[in-house]
Structure 1
Amino acid sequence: MTLADLIAQARDALNTAIATRQQEQEALLALRSDPNLTEDAVAERVRTRDAADGEVTRRQAALDELLAEQAREEEIAALQARTAPTGNRPPAYDRVARVGSEERTYRPDLDRRGAAFERDVAAAFLGDYEARDRLSRHMQEERVERGDQLVRAVGTGAFTGLVVPQYLTELYAPAAAARRPFADAIRGHSLPAEGMTVNISRITTATSTAIQASENTAVSETNIDDTLMTINVQTNAGQQTLSRQSIERGAGVEPVVLDDLFRRYATTLDSTLINQATNGLTNVATAVAYTDASPTAAELYPKVIQGLSEVEAALLDQATGDNLAVMHSRRWYWMQNAMGSTWPMISQPGIVQQTLGTNYAEAYGRGVRGVLPNGTPVIVDNNIGTTLGAGTEDEIYLVDRNECHLWEDASAPMYIRAEQPAAATLGVLMVVYGYFAYTHARYAHARKVAGTGLIAPTFTGV
């Protein structure tokens, strides 16, 4: 095992320790917000957090020691280069990983579409040792520059997992995709490093208080009880087999294919959050019916307000007020097309009184698109179905942003696997994958406006 391998392991161990420490700190903060906490419980949690702190310190010290050793080895190599005879030369330039003032192995100014990177990925699995060396340098650069984002260990020896250069995920001319507007808007968490479930304890039987009947009589007592909520970790993955001819003779084939896989990954994840059976938003949300053969935006808006009021009523003191209205683009533009002579009787901060909300003129997928008359932000997401109900309906979802939870691996979907499963046909396999878990049901709060009033809209100004 080389010194670089030891440093990589030390970085991974430090990242794991940091993630554990962050989880302990979050648990401590959550405990302190519990009105029934005890000093002993807080002290125990503080001790656990401090132990995690100590582990971070130890891991950092171990990494610093290895880095100091590496720096000394580089000094010795430089000294040797100045004093060694001609026949005893230092390692060749392309045999040494350099990060810092040295240029990156793969750069957007020299390889804008990622052809060199993709050729090396394929060539490495065909036995090209120079390609493996370049990929090894690239992985070392990623660990140095983005080590805090690479939670999972990556085996560079066999190149079973590679981090795609960051610039390659942003510069393609891809096919259109719905991607992940809703997923980006809700509350995100780091996925635990191990396990295929995420567990949350929910208080399902609360304590009680009551007015004491008289002095020295028993006061109210109800035993608190919780129920474990288990959320499955899911795997989102896609693959594509390319011919060796397309890789070696094509122009920019690999980056286009990979980028399309990345976009399908994002779209599938977001669509799962909304549409998946049982746990998707459409299936956990309580319906607010809007039934109308001749729907108008003015009639729809009170249904939205009704849904928001029910969201807050369900959450009570757990409501943050950070609500979202999530709708299809056709519904958002239909609401904008409405004309009217009336407006809300109660004004809202930042909203012009004689309008039905405000459009921010943001592009699709760029966050909040606008606000409704009561100030609720709107997320436009075309993963929402348009063939619901009677067959042409969509839905509007109303949620507390902070009670829609998404756990994701920090590196997803930054990993690919390239193999030669079909050598006889010169096929090269590419796989994009990632792990995630989600829930909208920690509290049963979500609402959806649904019904025949949300059939395919006609833009008539009402």
Structure 2
Amino acid sequence: MAGIDELIASIEVELEAAQKRRTKAAKEIELILAKAQQDGRSNLSVEEDERVAELFAARDQAKADIEGIQRKLENAQKVKAEEMERAEQAKQVRDTQTRKPAYDQVARVGTEERTYRKDTDPLGKNFLMDVCRQFMFQDVEAAHRLARHMQEEQVERAQYLQRAVGTGAFSGLTVPQYLTDMYAPATAALRPFADVCNQHPLPESGMSVNISRITTATDAGLQASENTAVTEQNMDDTLLTVPVQTAPGQQTVSRQAIDRGTGIEDVTMQDLFNRVATVLDKTLLTQAVTGLTNVAQNNTYTDASPTGAELYPKILGAAAGVEAALLAMGRPTHAVMHSRRWYWLSSQMSSTWPLINWAGIPPQAAGVADPSSSYSSGPRGVLPCGLEVIVDNNIPTNLGAGTNEDELYVVPASECHLWEDPNAPLFIRAEQAKADSLGVLLVAYSYFAYTFGRYANGMQKVSGTGLVTPAF
């Protein structure tokens, strides 16, 4: 049934691509209309009208494609169901009423244990010793066990052995599966903050995103008397240009590792994707001039013996700063902090509580933690003022004069703008570049643009000696 399964998989990929085209067209239409609204224009420009018409046509075509693809997928699934039914019928055994042979004339097939098993050789010691004995001493029994192991591998994991030629000449180089299952990927800080930013699709072309900011607003005032001049102030804007940046990573893997290893390419690419996600998030937080730490208005917390009860008002002060800067254009939604700061806050004990708690927060609590949440999986909890806590270990912990401070950011998610390619991160697999050394070059990269600067002081942070390495 591999043929119909592959067909269904390809149709599902086709359906996903059509759904993405429809979503992308709708999002771009929203952006064009939102820009006109922000500019105070009642009509779209000629270019915008033409682009909106093109996008509506693309959206409608994508919707039609989706309907057709869904019908095709339904038919393919019906074919698969029929094939499965025929296969089940073929497995049915009916009594032919023939005389059974005598007991000693019946062939029986039983089960045989694997040569190398996790219960008898958990660390692979016997496997490695047999490899050494075969190649160093031509041990016949070791060679026999390795040959039997390779026969077992050909039955149970043939897909890995088909990639290499002359497997018999390398007996034992295919590692038992239970040993490869022990693989532990490298840890990565990933992108907790980037995931809560206001996401936008990256424009299809160009190396910058341009945003119009109203820097001089209109004015209104009381009229001195009838028929006298009314207050007037010409509105003016300033162009905010956001550069498109690239977050890439590469790794050269030997051809032998890919051909003869188990999932080497998948493991390497996943690790590269994790590095791309980490560098993107770290760029949003710490990049010179435009990073969150450099854009945010500072609220200093200075204390040689910091406590959670003293830090909490500073967080509220930062939230007040966000609201004062944005007014009706947004509100503070998230407190972004290092994991050590979150656990330190969680460790603080108090006999007093805030006068005002957010709905759903117990009255005698300094916040609520989500027990189901883990790192980079969404908010870790909620503070009494309603700020959702995002734990992000891309926040530096070597700040301040003592190089032992971290920072805490209070942000409105709606004003943390991040443009990304919806298909990112992208992947390149190049063999020609390293062909002379039997190397395969793996490259992962992602295009992105971001800004936190649409409104002055719209981002706030808390820093200072009160945020030194916490003592538990």
Task: Name the TM-score, length of structure 1 as normaliser.
Answer: 0.70
- Which residue of 2 is the match for residue 253 of structure 1? 264
- Which residue of 2 is the match for residue 347 of structure 1? 357
| Residue 177 of structure 1 pairs with residue 180 of structure 2 | no
1:190 to 198, 201, 221: 201
**Between 13-22 and 447-456, the greater mean CA deviation after superposition:** 13-22
Alignment CA distance shift 1:25-1:172 (3 Å): farther
| Residue 441 of structure 1 pairs with residue 453 of structure 2 | yes
Deviation at 1:115, TM superposition (A): 11
Deviation at 1:25, TM superposition (A): 3.2
Alignment CA distance shift 1:250-1:198 (3 Å): same
Q: Residue deviations 1:416-455, cap 9 Å, x none? A: 3322212221111111111111111111211110001100
Alignment CA distance shift 1:115-1:230 (3 Å): farther
Alignment CA distance shift 1:249-1:232 (3 Å): same
1:422 alignment partner, SS class: helix
Alignment CA distance shift 1:378-1:56 (3 Å): closer
Q: Tell me how far apart the structure 2 counterparts of residues 350 and 364 of structure 1 sit (CA, whole Å).
A: 23
Q: Which amino acid aligns with 1:359?
A: A
Alignment CA distance shift 1:385-1:99 (3 Å): farther
Q: Is the contact between residue 332 and residue 410 of structure 2 (CA under 8 Å) also seen in structure 1?
A: no
Which protein has greater RCO, CA pairs closer than 8 Å, 6+ apart?
A: 1
Q: Tell me how far apart the structure 1 counterparts of residues 375 and 183 of structure 2 sit (CA, whole Å).
A: 17
Alignment CA distance shift 1:384-1:14 (3 Å): closer
Q: Tell me how far apart the structure 2 counterparts of residues 200 and 372 of structure 1 sit (CA, whole Å).
A: 33
The unaligned stretches of length 5 or more in structure 1 are 1-7, 72-97, 104-113, 124-170
Deviation at 1:210, TM superposition (A): 0.8
Alignment CA distance shift 1:452-1:15 (3 Å): closer
2:431 alignment partner, SS class: strand
Task: Name the TM-score, length of structure 2 as normaliser.
Answer: 0.69
Q: Tell me how far apart the structure 1 counterparts of residues 79 and 417 of structure 2 sit (CA, whole Å).
A: 40
Q: Is the contact between residue 326 and residue 378 of structure 1 (CA under 8 Å) also seen in structure 2?
A: yes
1:415 alignment partner, SS class: strand
1:312 to 317, 323, 345: 323
Q: Which amino acid aligns with 2:468?
A: I
User: Pairwise CA RMSD of aligned residues?
Assistant: 3.6
Matches within 5 A, 1:375-394: 375-390=386-401, 391-394=403-406
Deviation at 1:400, TM superposition (A): 0.4
Alignment CA distance shift 1:219-1:43 (3 Å): farther
Matches within 5 A, 1:350-369: 350-361=360-371, 362-369=373-380
- Which residue of 2 is the match for residue 326 of structure 1? 336
- Which residue of 2 is the match for residue 223 of structure 1? 234
Alignment CA distance shift 1:389-1:118 (3 Å): farther
2:462 alignment partner, SS class: strand
Q: Tell me how far apart the structure 1 counterparts of residues 411 and 237 of structure 2 sit (CA, whole Å).
A: 24
Higher Cα Rg, which structure: 2
Alignment CA distance shift 1:115-1:438 (3 Å): farther
Number of aligned positions between the proteins? 363
Alignment CA distance shift 1:261-1:337 (3 Å): same
1:431 to 423, 440, 443: 443
- Which residue of 2 is the match for residue 25 of structure 1? 30
2:193 alignment partner, SS class: helix
1:241 to 244, 247, 252: 252
- Which residue of 2 is the match for residue 264 of structure 1? 275
Q: Tell me how far apart the structure 1 counterparts of residues 406 and 289 of structure 2 sit (CA, whole Å).
A: 18
Q: Which amino acid aligns with 1:412?
A: A
1:251 alignment partner, SS class: coil
Q: Which amino acid aligns with 2:366?
A: L
Q: Tell me how far apart the structure 1 counterparts of residues 351 and 25 of structure 2 sit (CA, whole Å).
A: 57
